[in-house]
């Protein structure tokens, strides 16, 4: 169906093509947030929004994003979808609040920043002369790259060891260990290492793979570009996960579903699972801290670990290197090597990954029992020869593109960081059990 409206004005003032499917996806996502999964209804409502926009927009005038959103709210309410309208309005209000908070970032002490942990990491970086790119380069020039690897890996292992000791102190009470954190923070390697450590202390761990609880692809939420959004917690059957966890802790047997990523379909009641009294359920999930996943599990039965690459290193301009950029590079390497996914697609989708993290993951960082730092100073020199050329090309390609402003900003920022770092072509100094091997390949662990 062709619309008379061809363009829309974004908040930045940029004029971009008007796309009906973005309205459909926004309505459907709001419906998913309140338990609905009827895409046909979302499409019908989107058509009503477009029709109302065409009637209310004067000839020759380009509607604004805010104006389109106002019409969406009006259509949802008039069509009797009050719950969906409320979810849409709440999300819209939250986005406005986040924009306001970003404007005040320099003056506000954020509660979701682990200040004490950051001080520990910064203190370590200063002691090991890697708190700036300049000092990192100097150590590499002195032939100390292998030493940096050993020092960083030792600090990371000490973090996991501390978490293990805390769990052992609560042995008998802890029934679930949750390892959560944003995309590519190193949850899988951390989970594997923690598993090995606890096993040596006589504690048996049973992994529950929450990826098997994804909804079928045909009812899966999409992002604003029409890509299936696996980053949102609503992509998972949270109620079923919660139910199974409660039953498992009670000693019951449950049948775990199986999700086939090739077909996008979930088969229920597949694999029997039961937890013995001396066993602990291990969950490695983006959204392990999201309350609805474990809402009926008593707090004393959960041990929650948050993991993030909390690297404390300033770039050539004196700005701290952003953790999200580290994770972006890691995910590009992993997606390309393990999922045959074009790294450019990873960059283009990252803005939505980040939005979901800020809504559903980052706010819970200080609600955990322990925080693990997965930032490795030596990953930047290794990433340079692998990714610098790509980021340089993307920085030029996206320049002036109104729909890729976020991708362009990230490409320029990462390009400039990688340019300033001394490259390391030979990664043989990185051991096979390194967390970085989860992303660049060559790990001794199976993922």
pLDDT digit string, tens, across residues 187-230: 999 999 998 998 888 888 898 999 999 999 888 767 666 667 77
Beta carbons within 8 Å of 76's beta carbon, 6+ residues apart: 27, 30, 45, 82, 84, 85, 88
Residue 24: its pLDDT value, please?
83
DSSP calls for 160-201: HHHHHHHHHHTTTT--EEEEE-STTSSHHHHHHHHHHHHHTT
Looking at residue 53, its pLDDT comes to 84
d(CA 148, CA 381): 11
Give me the pLDDT at residue 266, please. 95
**Mean pLDDT value across the chain:** 88
Asked if the model's pLDDT at residue 119 lies above 90, the reply is yes
pLDDT value for 355: 82
Does the pLDDT at position 3 exceed 90?
Answer: no
What b-and-e string marks burial along 307-327, b requiring 16 or more CB atoms within 10 Å of the CB? bbbbbbbebeeeeebbbbbbb
Set out the domains of the chain in order of their start, with CATH numbers.
7-106 (no CATH), 115-440 (3.40.50.300)
Share of the chain above pLDDT 90, in %: 54
The pLDDT tens digits of the residues spanning 154-198 come to: 999 999 999 999 999 998 899 999 999 999 999 999 999 998 998
Q: What is the pLDDT of residues 315-350, one digit of tens each?
A: 999 999 999 999 999 999 998 876 667 899 999 989
Taking Cα atoms as reference points, which of 8, 117, 89 lies closest to residue 53? 8
pLDDT of residue 162: 95
Q: CB neighbours (10 Å) of residue 367?
A: 11
**Burial of 30 from C-beta contacts in 10 A (0-12 / 13-18 / 19+):** buried
Burial class (CB in 10 A: 0-12, 13-18, 19+), 242: middle
More reliable by pLDDT, 38 or 215: 215
pLDDT of 107 reads 39
- pLDDT for 165 equals 93
More confident residue, 82 or 12: 82
Q: How confident is the model at residue 31 (pLDDT cuts 50, 70, 90)?
A: confident
pLDDT at 1: 58
Q: Which of 360, 377, 33 is nearest to 182 (CA)?
A: 360
Looking at the predicted structure, is the pLDDT value of residue 15 above 70?
A: yes
pLDDT of res. 99? 57
pLDDT greater at residue 123 or residue 356: 123
What mean pLDDT is predicted for residues 308-319? 95
- Over residues 88-106, the mean pLDDT reads 61
Signed CA dihedral, 167, 275, 156, 294: sign only: negative
pLDDT at 339: 65
Pull the structure tokens for residue 190: 């951390």
Least confident of 38-42, 88-92, 94-98: 94-98
DSSP letters for 20-77 = HHHHHHHHHHHHHHTT---HHHHHHHHHHHHHHHHHHSPTTPPPBHHHHHHHHHHHHH
What one-character DSSP code corresponds to residue 367? G
Q: Is pLDDT at 100 greater than 70 in this prediction?
A: no
Pick from 85, 31, 23, 26: nearest CA to 52: 23
- For 44-61, what is each residue's pLDDT tens digit? 888 888 888 888 888 778
pLDDT of residue 39: 81
Asked whether residue 382 carries a pLDDT value surpassing 90, the answer given is: yes
The Cα 412–Cα 398 span in angstroms is 10
More confident of the two residues 409 and 172 = 409
| pTM of the predicted model as reported, rounded to 2 decimal places | 0.76
pLDDT of the residue at 12: 63
Alpha carbon 416 to chain centroid distance?
23
Tell me which of 63 and 317 has the higher pLDDT: 317
Tell me the mean pLDDT in the region 355-369: 86
- Mean pLDDT value across residues 415-444: 96
Give the CA angle between residues 83, 89, 94 to the nearest 5°.
125
Of 284 and 416, the one with more pLDDT = 416
Q: What is the pLDDT of residue 36?
A: 79
CB 408 within 8 A of CB 399: yes
Does 434 have pLDDT greater than 90?
A: yes
Strands of the sheet containing 204-207, edge to edge, are 204-207, 279-285, 176-180, 302-308, 370-373
Report how far residue 444's alpha carbon sits from residue 437's, in angstroms, rounded to the nearest whole number: 8
413 half-sphere exposure, CB direction, 13 A CA radius: 18
- Is the separation of the CB atoms in 235 and 214 below 8 Å? yes
Model pLDDT, residue 2 = 62
């Amino acid at each position: 169906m062709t619309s008379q409206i061809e363009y829309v004005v974004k908040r930045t003032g940029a004029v971009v093509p008007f796309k009906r499917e973005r309205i459909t996806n926004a309505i459907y996502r709001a419906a998913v947030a309140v338990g609905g999964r009827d895409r046909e209804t979302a499409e019908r409502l989107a058509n009503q929004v477009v029709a109302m926009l065409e009637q209310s927009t004067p000839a020759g005038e380009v509607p604004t994003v805010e104006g389109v959103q106002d019409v969406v709210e009006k259509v949802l309410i008039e069509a009797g979808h009050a719950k969906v309208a409320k979810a849409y309005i709440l999300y819209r209000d939250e986005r406005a609040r986040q924009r306001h908070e970003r404007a005040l970032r320099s003056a506000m002490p954020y509660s979701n920043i682990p200040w004490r942990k950051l001080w520990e990491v910064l203190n370590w970086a200063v002691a090991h002369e890697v708190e700036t790119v300049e000092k990192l380069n100097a150590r590499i020039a002195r032939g100390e790259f292998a030493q940096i690897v050993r020092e960083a890996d030792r600090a990371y292992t000490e973090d996991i060891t501390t978490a293990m000791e805390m769990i052992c102190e609560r042995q008998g009470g802890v029934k679930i260990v949750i390892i959560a954190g944003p995309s590519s923070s190193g949850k899988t390697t951390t989970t594997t290492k923690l598993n090995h450590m606890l096993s040596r202390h006589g504690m048996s761990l049973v992994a529950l793979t929450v990826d098997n609880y994804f909804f079928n692809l045909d009812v899966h939420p999409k992002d604003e570009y029409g890509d299936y959004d696996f980053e949102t917690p609503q992509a998972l059957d949270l109620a079923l996960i919660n139910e199974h966890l409660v039953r498992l802790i009670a000693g019951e047997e449950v049948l775990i579903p199986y999700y086939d990523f090739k077909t996008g379909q979930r088969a229920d009641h597949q694999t029997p699972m039961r937890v013995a009294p001396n066993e602990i359920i291990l969950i490695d999930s983006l959204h392990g801290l999201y309350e609805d996943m474990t809402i009926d599990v008593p707090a004393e039965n959960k041990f929650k670990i948050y993991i993030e690459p909390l690297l404390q290193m300033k770039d050539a301009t004196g700005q701290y290197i952003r953790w999200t950029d580290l994770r972006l590079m890691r995910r590009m390497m992993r997606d390309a090597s393990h999922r045959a996914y074009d790294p450019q697609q990873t960059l283009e989708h990252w803005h939505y990954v980040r939005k979901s993290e800020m809504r559903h993951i980052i706010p819970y960082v200080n609600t955990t029992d322990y925080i693990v730092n997965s930032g490795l100073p030596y990953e930047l020199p290794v990433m340079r020869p692998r990714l610098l050329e790509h980021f340089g090309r993307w920085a030029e390609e996206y320049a002036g593109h109104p729909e890729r402003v976020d991708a362009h900003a990230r490409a320029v920022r990462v390009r400039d960081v990688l340019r300033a770092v001394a490259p390391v072509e030979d990664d043989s100094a990185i051991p096979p059990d390194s967390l970085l091997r989860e992303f660049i390949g060559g790990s001794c662990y199976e993922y």
